[in-house]
Amino acid sequence: MKSFFNFLLAVPAVLAAPQINRRQDENTVPGKWIAQINEDSPLASALSTIQTLAGIEAKHQYEIGSFKGFSFDGDDGVLDILETIGAIKSVEPDRKVYASAPVPAAEIDARALVQQSPTTWGLARISHRARGANNYIYDNTAGAGSYIYVVDTGVYTGHQDFGGRASAGANFVEGESATDGNGHGTHCAGTTGSTTYGVAKRANIIGVKVLGSDGSGYNSDVIAGINWAVSNAQQNNRISRSVISMSLGGAYDPQSNNAVAQATAAGMFVAVAAGNDGKDASNYSPASERSACTVGATDINDNRASFSNFGSIVDIFAPGVNIQSTWIGSSTATNTISGTSMATPHIAGLAAYLLALEGTRSPAALCSRIQSLSTKNTIVNPGSGSPNYLAYNGNGA
C-alpha cells in the first residue's frame, strides 16, 4: 500500500492537476460532490487510497465504460487534499435534478388544451403521417424481447396494465422504498410499454428509482442509476436490446452527461427529455449530451408545446401534451399530464419497438433511424435550430 500511496502523490508531477470546481449556485448541493477518476487508474485501489488520504467515504461508486468515479460528502479541506492526488481527474459539485415535471394546464397555450379522445392521441399520432387518426397501428412484435430501464421516481409494478412485465430493478433514494410514491415514473413507464397506453406493448420494463416522492433528487443518484442499468444489462447479456428512458433533468452538468455518454458507448440507447422551460436545451443536462436521443414535445395540433425546450441538440419531437397513461394509487389508475417527460417515453418505447422489429443497431444508428422514419416539416414553430422531425413508427399508415 505504501508504494501505491507514493505513486498517487507522484502522479501530479506528470499529469495535469485535478480539475476541482468549487463554484456553488442555486442548483448545487452544499457539501456534496462527484469525483471522476483517471481512466487508467483501477477504481477499487484508487478509491481505497483516496478515502484513506482524504478521510471520506464513497456514497456511490461508478464504472460506466471509461467513466470511473464516486460521490462523497466533504468540505473545502477535503477538496484541498483531493487536489493533490493524481488519480483524481475532476470534481464537480452535486446538483439538484428533477423529474421534467408535469406542466400545469394553466401554463400551456390554449391551442394545446384539446380534449383527449378515448384513444390515446399520442399513440395514434406516431403511427400515422397525418394527424386526426384515432387508432394506433403497430407491428405485433411490439418490442418483444427488449428491455426498457425507466430511470425516474420508480414504477408501480402492480398496475394491471403492465401485465406482469414490469419489475423494480434498483432504488437509490435514501429513506424511501423502491415503489413509486410520485406517479411520474409509472406514467412514463406506461407510455413506453403498458398494454393500453404503451408504444412497445410486449417490452419488459425495469424501474430504476433515482428521484424521491417529491419528484426531485441528485445527480449523484442519477449517475448511480445509469451505472446500475448498464451493469445489469451487461450482466444479463442484453445491452444491445436495452434502452434507458430518462424524463428528468437540471442545470448543465458534465458528470451526468459523461455518464450518459459512457452508457451509449457501451451500446445502450438513451432517450432524454429536452426540458420544460421553453429555452435552448443545450443549457440542461442530460438533454445536452450529444450521444443521447433528446426529445422535445408537441401537442395534438402538431405545434411545438409552449413549454418544450428546443434547439440543435434536440433530435426528435413526440407527443407530450395531455398524455394519458398509468398512475399510482390503484392497479387501474390513470392520469393525463403534459411535459417533455411524456414525449420522451414515446421515443424510448419506439426505440425498443424498432429493436424488436428491425434488429439491433448502435445507439447513434437507432436515433438516426428514428429521425429518418419521422414525419418531416409538420411541426409548427419547432424552435430556433430544432429539426422539424415528428416521431413515426414506420407502419405505412
Question: Which are the catalytic amino acids?
Answer: 152, 184, 341
Check residue 197 and report its DSSP letter: T
Are 96 and 209 a contacting pair, CB within 8 Å?
Answer: no
C-alpha to C-alpha distances, 371 to 154, 193, 394, nearest whole angstrom: 29, 20, 11
Cα-based distances in Å from 111 to 89, 125, 284, 301, 375:
49, 17, 27, 8, 21
As a residue count, the chain comes to: 397
Q: In what order do the strands lie in the sheet with 242-246?
A: 166-171, 204-209, 147-152, 242-246, 269-273, 293-298, 316-319, 389-390, 375-376
- Please name every residue paired with 284 in a beta bridge, in sequence order, or none if there are none: 251
Task: Measure CA 277 to chain center.
Answer: 17
Query: In the numeric block, which cell numbers belong to residue 240?
Result: 444491445
Rounded Cα–Cα distance for residues 155 and 211 (Å): 11
